[in-house]
């Protein structure tokens, strides 16, 4: 009996020592086993979350909001717990692929939840509530006619009455005020979750996802902005002069910032809708894409088919039948939906969809090509492990569809039967100007959204200064001002979906640079000769093969390697956008002689 007890004691002691050695000195094999289980668990949960969010965004009710909040809370909790467990493997020398998975796991939450379950649940409920506030937002005019964001965008696109534009602008921005207190609490809770993961705040966590230290990333953004800023100032100065001529110097002073409600868009983020009032001869570009689409009597389904056919022409497989059965193309008349265009991958395999409230117009034709870029990217990397199923960085994901959209040239429109004759070279200036009103005008807006949020997350901007800081940045980078005096009773950032929905925004700025870099590379691959802006690689299998090589990598390698696979370059380079718009820049500078540049 004594020998049995002694043996049991030694066995117990040996087990304790073995456990201590295992927990204190984990192996690569253990790390790999942990990661395999983590990816399997997250894959299962992501489908549940995607389905809940899809239903919520397409059927906005208190119940779907609660279901979405619960699903998001669960995956936030599981991810946070997995990140906590993964700390055990800190310091283990791993193969590069495995080490990258551990890093990406840590960076996978854009809204990291606090460890405390009650606080985490509070944060996910606030997040769902903010998205609902935005989705249900409306402006009711004096006649009690209520407009949702789709109708508001149309008014601000078409109206030339500055008073009506001001009223609609103010009415839409009023939806932000009720979000203010909730957003402040959301920031506090998200920051607490980021600190639990070892980051100073949520903004630092976001910036850590670009394969370089956050400070280096900040410097990279400033470098890119300085490359494109002269082009923006030339465009800005020309537009302000023409708006002043249209509305009068009392409304648009010729040497002051531009009022934000006069730029054809609720957020003054893209200015293409003011093209008709900039003084160029009517139909000077040789065609109006909206008119061409309407002349074909297209419906929303037909619009999307054009987008799919472009990708097919590059060698990509057709979209699955479920895409056509399950996507949302038209705004339902009987319920609230989040109309902001988005692309979805519900099962990390083949259940890809888009959600749009499509109108038969040029803007939506371009947006369809953009959103499908997400879907074809998702399908290209679907065989990668779960944590590599993403863009090389988030700017890549946004840039793919925009690269394709740059190929919506007159040459492309003729090839697909929308245009009978390609306009002569003298039409290039109006075509480039229309492009610049969307692409170049967007650059500072794309930059400032997250610059504001990073200041909010860091505490540099306090809740009592949210709106002032917002408009300070909009003036600094965009040169726009609100049409009426704003105060801290307002919360104008909340009138932008990506703030209410907690979607990081720097990806769009980066995409606006990357897309021209990708486009130039694909044009070269397609054998294009002549001005860059005249290129379409529609139908080029070599260009499609080169693109697919990059897309299939997903996030398995640092983004400079993915960039190199398509472009041969390992850094972002704005010279492509400068080259693309070079004829326009020369023309704008001639128009602006004697004018004050900037504001």
Determine contact, residues 396/562, Cβ cutoff 8 Å. yes
Active site residues: 340-341, 370-371, 374, 398, 498, 508
pLDDT for residue 282: 59
Residue range 15-73, pLDDT digits in tens: 433 444 445 689 999 999 999 999 999 999 999 999 999 999 989 889 998 999 899 88
pTM, two decimals, is 0.87
* pLDDT reported for residue 21: 44
How far, in whole angstroms, is CA 170 from its chain's centroid?
Answer: 25
- By C-alpha distance, which of 239, 289, 282 is closest to 262? 239
Tens-digit pLDDT profile for residues 462-493: 999 999 999 999 999 999 999 999 999 999 99
Distance CA 526, CA 543 (A): 5
Does 10 score more than 80 pLDDT?
Answer: no
- The token duo for 290 is 């909206």
Q: For residue 146, with 0-12 CB atoms within 10 Å meaning exposed, 13-18 middle and 19 or more buried, which class applies?
A: exposed
The C-alpha angle with vertex 555 and arms to 92 and 389, in degrees rounded to 5, equals 105
Question: Among 144, 151, 27, 147, which Cα is nearest to 91's?
Answer: 27
So what's the pLDDT on residue 113?
A: 85
| Pair of tokens at residue 278 | 């900039």
Query: d(Cα 433, Cα 18) in Å, to the nearest integer?
Result: 70
- How much is the pLDDT for 247? 97
Greater pLDDT, 76 or 33: 33
Q: How many CB atoms lie within 10 A of CB 104?
A: 17
Average pLDDT over every residue of 118-130: 93
- Across 465-500, b (16+ Cβ under 10 Å) vs e yields ebbebbbebbeebbbbbbbeebeeebbbbbbbbbbb
What is 207-272 written as a DSSP string?
HGGGSS-HHHHHHHHHHHHHHHHHHHHHHHHHHHHHHHHHH-TTTS-TTSPEEGGGSSSTTSS--G
* pLDDT at residue 538, as a whole number: 96
Segment 157-200, tens digit of pLDDT: 999 999 999 999 999 999 999 999 999 999 999 999 999 888 99
Query: Helix, strand or coil for residue 17?
Result: helix
Using the predicted structure, report yes or no on whether residue 98 has a pLDDT greater than 90: yes
């Amino acid at each position: 009996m004594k020998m049995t007890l002694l043996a049991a004691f030694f066995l117990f002691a040996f087990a304790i020592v073995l456990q201590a050695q295992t927990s204190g000195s984990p192996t690569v094999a253990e790390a790999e086993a942990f990661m395999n289980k983590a990816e399997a668990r997250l894959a299962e949960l992501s489908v549940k979350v995607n389905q809940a969010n899809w239903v919520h965004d397409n059927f906005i009710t208190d119940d779907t909001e609660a279901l979405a909040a619960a699903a998001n809370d669960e995956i936030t909790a599981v991810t946070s717990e997995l990140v906590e467990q993964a700390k055990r493997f800190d310091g283990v020398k791993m193969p590069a692929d495995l080490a990258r998975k551990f890093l990406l796991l840590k960076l996978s939450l854009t809204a990291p939840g606090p460890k405390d379950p009650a606080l985490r649940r509070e944060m996910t409920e606030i997040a769902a509530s903010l998205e609902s506030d935005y989705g249900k937002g409306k402006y009711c005019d004096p006649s009690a006619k209520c407009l949702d964001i789709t109708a508001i965008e149309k008014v601000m696109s078409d109206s030339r009455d500055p008073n009506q534009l001001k009223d609609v602008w103010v009415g839409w921005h009023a939806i932000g005020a009720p979000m203010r207190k909730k957003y402040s609490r959301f920031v506090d809770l998200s920051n607490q979750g980021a600190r639990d993961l070892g980051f100073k705040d949520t903004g630092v966590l976001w910036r850590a996802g670009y394969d370089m230290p956050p400070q280096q990333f900040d410097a990279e953004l400033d470098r890119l902005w300085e490359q494109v800023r002269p082009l923006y100032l030339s465009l800005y100065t020309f537009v302000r002069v023409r708006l002043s001529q249209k509305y009068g110097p009392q409304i648009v002073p010729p040497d002051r910032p531009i009022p934000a409600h006069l730029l054809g868009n609720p957020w003054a983020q893209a200015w293409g809708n003011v093209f008709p009032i900039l003084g160029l001869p009517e139909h000077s570009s040789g065609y109006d894409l909206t008119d061409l689409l309407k002349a074909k009597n297209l419906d929303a389904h037909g619009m999307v088919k054009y987008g799919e056919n472009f990708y097919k022409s590059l060698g990509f497989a057709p979209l699955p039948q479920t895409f056509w059965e399950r996507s949302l193309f038209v705004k339902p008349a009987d319920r609230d939906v989040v109309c902001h265009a988005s692309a979805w991958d519900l099962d990390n395999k083949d259940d890809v969809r888009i959600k749009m409230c499509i109108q038969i117009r040029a803007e939506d034709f371009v947006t369809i090509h953009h959103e499908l870029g997400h879907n074809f990217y998702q399908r290209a990397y679907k065989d990668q492990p779960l944590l590599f199923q993403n863009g090389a960085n988030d700017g890549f994901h946004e840039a793919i569809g925009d690269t394709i959209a740059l190929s919506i040239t007159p040459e492309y429109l003729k090839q697909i039967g929308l245009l009978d004759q390609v306009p002569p070279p003298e039409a290039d200036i109006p075509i480039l100007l229309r492009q610049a009103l969307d692409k170049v005008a967007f650059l500072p807006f794309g930059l400032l959204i997250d610059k504001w949020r990073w200041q909010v997350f860091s505490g540099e901007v306090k809740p009592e200064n949210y709106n002032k800081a917002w408009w300070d940045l909009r003036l600094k980078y965009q040169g726009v001002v609100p049409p009426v005096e704003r105060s801290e009773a307002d919360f104008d950032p909340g009138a932008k979906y990506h703030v209410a929905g907690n979607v990081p925004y720097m990806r769009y700025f980066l995409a606006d640079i990357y897309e021209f870099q990708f486009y130039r590379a694909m044009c070269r691959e397609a054998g294009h000769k002549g001005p860059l802006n005249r290129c379409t690689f529609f139908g080029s299998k070599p260009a499609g093969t080169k693109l697919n090589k990059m897309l299939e990598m997903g996030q398995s390698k640092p983004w400079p390697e993915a960039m190199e696979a398509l472009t041969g370059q390992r850094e972002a380079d704005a010279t492509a956008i400068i080259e693309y718009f070079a004829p326009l820049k020369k023309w704008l500078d001639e128009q602006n002689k004697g004018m004050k540049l900037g504001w």
